[in-house]
């Protein structure tokens, strides 16, 4: 059984993001980049399934510029068996990513697809759902627990007010939430060993894909600064202010 895991290179979650002076985009010059945290959880889950003997091979995939090799090497160091890098300098939209993953699915024939539920740069939370639709495959989003059997997977997923358990026939698409697991710390020897693992290079044209951007970003701006709070001395004063603000 094979698992395909998609990983994205994003601005590290510890970095304070700044907008370019002209408002055209986010400034990522000279900032630390790393694997999208939700994708890291997806990789960890795939590796754990392999270690438990339920998966034979884990294939990590990244779509983007040449520097995406860094996150693929991290995935290999975590335990992925091999990696595929579809290299392009174009800014990819969720639908384009889903379509390229569909093409790779036809080539690789995985039984389970693991993705992060969303990327922390665009917060789209769309790729997994679009991929499932393109593949006509069952899906489970926001997974908090995954139990893989011979021909089906049981997923406990986060929903408003609690959890929901779903049973999916394979092949299936699963997107990982924060509570699914705690990714392992990657040690230096594993990073060095990852350099010897297979990393296949491809171009979108190899998949028959046109990656021309169809969405235009009009403007990027920072959110308004939060106003300072106000202290009150009594409950009556609080109620009066809430009524004045038409909250109650």
Contact 146, 174 (CB under 8 A): yes
Looking at residue 127, its pLDDT comes to: 94
Looking at residue 179, its pLDDT comes to: 92
How would residue 136 be classed by pLDDT, with cut points 50, 70 and 90? Answer: very high
Looking at residue 71, its pLDDT comes to: 94
The rounded mean pLDDT for the chain is 92
CA nearest 156: which of 179, 125, 173? 179
Quick one: average pLDDT of 127-148? 95
Q: Which residue has the higher pLDDT, 234 or 229?
A: 234
Ranges 87-101, 102-116, 122-136, 202-216: which has the least confidence: 202-216
Looking at residue 28, its pLDDT comes to: 82
Looking at residue 17, its pLDDT comes to: 85
Residue 8 confidence (pLDDT) above 90: yes
- Helices 69-78 and 37-51 pack at an angle, to 10 degrees, of 30
Looking at residue 6, its pLDDT comes to: 96
| pLDDT tens-place string over residues 203-226 | 999 999 888 888 888 888 888 888
Run of H or E including 200: strand 199-202
Residue 181 to residue 215: CA distance in whole angstroms: 34
Quick one: average pLDDT of 97-126? 93
| pLDDT tens-place string over residues 150-195 | 899 999 999 988 999 999 999 999 999 999 999 999 999 999 999 8
What percent of the chain is modeled with pLDDT above 90?
70
The model carries a pTM of 0.85
Q: Which residue has the higher pLDDT, 84 or 13?
A: 84
Beta bridge partners of 83: 60, 199
Looking at residue 41, its pLDDT comes to: 96
Quick one: average pLDDT of 59-87? 95
Q: Where are the beta strands (DSSP E) in 98-188?
A: 112-116, 139-148, 152-159, 162-169, 172-176
Tokens of 105: 């699915």
CA nearest 131: which of 6, 3, 2? 6
Radius of gyration of the chain (CA): 21
């Amino acid at each position: 059984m094979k698992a395909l895991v998609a990983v994205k290179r994003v601005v590290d979650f510890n970095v304070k993001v700044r907008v370019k002076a002209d408002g055209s985009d986010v400034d990522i010059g000279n900032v630390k980049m790393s694997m999208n945290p939700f994708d890291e959880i997806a990789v960890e889950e795939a590796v754990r399934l392999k270690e438990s003997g339920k998966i034979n091979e884990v294939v990590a995939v990244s779509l983007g510029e040449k520097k995406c090799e860094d996150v693929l090497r991290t995935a290999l160091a975590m335990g992925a068996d091999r990696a595929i890098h579809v290299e392009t300098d174009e800014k990819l939209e969720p639908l384009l990513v889903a379509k390229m993953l569909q093409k790779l699915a036809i080539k690789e024939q995985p039984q389970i697809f693991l993705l992060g539920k969303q990327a922390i740069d665009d917060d789209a939370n769309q790729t997994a759902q679009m991929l499932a639709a393109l593949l006509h495959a069952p899906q489970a989003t926001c997974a908090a627990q995954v139990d893989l059997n011979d021909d089906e997977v049981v997923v406990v997923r986060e929903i408003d007010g609690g959890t929901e358990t779903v049973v999916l026939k394979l092949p299936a698409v699963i997107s990982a939430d924060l509570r699914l697991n705690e990714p392992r710390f990657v040690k230096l020897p594993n990073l060095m060993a990852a350099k010897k693992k297979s990393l296949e290079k491809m171009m979108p044209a190899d998949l028959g894909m046109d990656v021309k951007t169809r969405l235009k970003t009009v403007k990027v701006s920072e959110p308004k600064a939060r106003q300072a709070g106000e202290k009150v001395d009594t409950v009556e004063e609080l109620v009066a202010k809430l009524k004045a603000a038409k909250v109650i």
